[in-house]
């Protein structure tokens, strides 16, 4: 191998390590959680993914209510489903 090839390979190795390292906490303020970490937090809370298809207007109304109440969309849907199920009984 030529000396230039060795330096090129070393540069590629360094680039790969930088890309795999992610964003340091000092830039992300420690608040960024990857999908795997978020999944583990959800599992610890006993949450599971549950996908449904809604009318676009209904979905927008739910999003607007979540913003107005300043709560998470998942929490609002949980509250609405529980309230609806209690009313159905």
DSSP string of 29-81, one letter each residue: TT----HHHHHHHHHHHT---------HHHHHHHHHHHHHHT--HHHHHHHHH
- Its domain, for residue 85, covers 48-89
Q: Could you report the per-residue pLDDT of 6-65, keeping only the tens digit for each?
A: 899 999 999 888 887 776 666 555 566 788 888 898 899 998 888 999 999 999 999 999
Distance CA 39, CA 33 (A): 10
Residue 73 falls inside a structural domain: yes
pLDDT of residue 27: 59
pLDDT of residue 65: 95
Residue 41 falls inside a structural domain: no
Distance CA 68, CA 32 (A): 25
Cβ contact 77:85 at 8 Å: no
Domain count of the fold of the chain: 1
């Amino acid at each position: 191998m030529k000396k230039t090839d060795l330096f090129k390979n070393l540069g590629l190795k360094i680039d790969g390590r930088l890309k795999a390292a992610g964003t340091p906490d000092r830039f992300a303020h420690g608040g960024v959680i990857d999908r795997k970490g978020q999944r583990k937090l959800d599992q610890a809370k006993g949450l599971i993914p549950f996908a449904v298809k809604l009318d676009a207007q209904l979905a927008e109304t739910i999003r607007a209510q979540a913003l107005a109440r300043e709560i998470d969309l998942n929490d609002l849907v949980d509250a609405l489903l529980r309230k609806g199920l209690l009313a159905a009984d």
